Chain A
Amino acid sequence: AQSVTQLDSQVPVFEEAPVELRCNYSSSVSVYLFWYVQYPNQGLQLLLKYLSGSTLVKGINGFEAEFNKSQTSFHLRKPSVHISDTAEYFCAVSEKWSGGGADGLTFGKGTHLIIQP
């Protein structure tokens, strides 16, 4: 079974500074990887995904992530954050099925990104 570890429960960052949110996963098979963002009292919004191909993926709102298979990591980065980026960020993994399709998403515990003015 897969698992996801987000080492940092909270990350405070000054506005316009760069940020990296860490995500490591564990799985015995190939996986799809995702980052979602959740604003207060809202559902989850997909930031970006890795399905296959280039290990550097770009998403919405200036975010990007790099898939590192050897380190089983999928860290999220943004070069310059804004107050509006304050939210909860979730890393998720889904194990691929050999016949097509995939498992339900397994989420990390989330990282609360706090932007300080």
Chain B
Amino acid sequence: KAGVTQTPRYLIKTRGQQVTLSCSPISGHRSVSWYQQTPGQGLQFLFEYFSETQRNKGNFPGRFSGRQFSNSRSEMNVSTLELGDSALYLCASSFGQGTYEQYFGPGTRLTVT
């Protein structure tokens, strides 16, 4: 089985712009979660989608949003980018709702200048 794929792998944006990141889960997995990884804050949970519905949300501002499509692929959007949004964004998929066992993608490295 192919693993979790994320596109693009690297992205450079300017402060104030918006960005969309994409994640394709492992075939058959219906849950997709997103995490932000920074040197200062470490790994932080953003949100989880299951069957096209957001089921769980971390403590991030409303500028961070996401959605899931009927084929379980997910996108994450960040509007009005700030310098502090520079991070590695990781997507993880699991078979069912919740996080019994999550499989992570390689991440998208976002740099905001």
Contacts and interface: CB of A to CB of B under 8 A. Distances in A.
Interface of B: 4, 33, 35, 42-45, 47-48, 55-56, 58, 90, 92, 96-107
A43 B42 contact: no
B34 to A, nearest CB: 9
A42 interface: yes
Contacts, number: 62
B104 A94 contact: no
A105 B45 CA distance: 6
In which size bucket is the chain A interface?
20 to 34
A100 B97 CA distance: 9
A108 B102 CA distance: 16
Given A43-B90, A110-B42, A104 B104 contact: no
A72 to B, nearest CB: 19
A94 B42 contact: no
20 contacts: A32-B99, A32-B100, A42-B107, A43-B104, A43-B106, A44-B92, A46-B101, A90-B43, A92-B43, A97-B98, A100-B98, A102-B99, A104-B56, A105-B33, A105-B35, A105-B43, A106-B45, A107-B35, A107-B44, A110-B43
Interface of A: 32, 36, 42-46, 49, 51, 90, 92, 94, 97, 100-110
Q: Which of A43, A49, A94 is the most central at the interface, judged by chain B CB atoms within 10 Å of its CB?
A: A43
Contact of B98 (A90, A101, A109): A101
A59 to B, nearest CB: 12
A116 B56 CA distance: 41
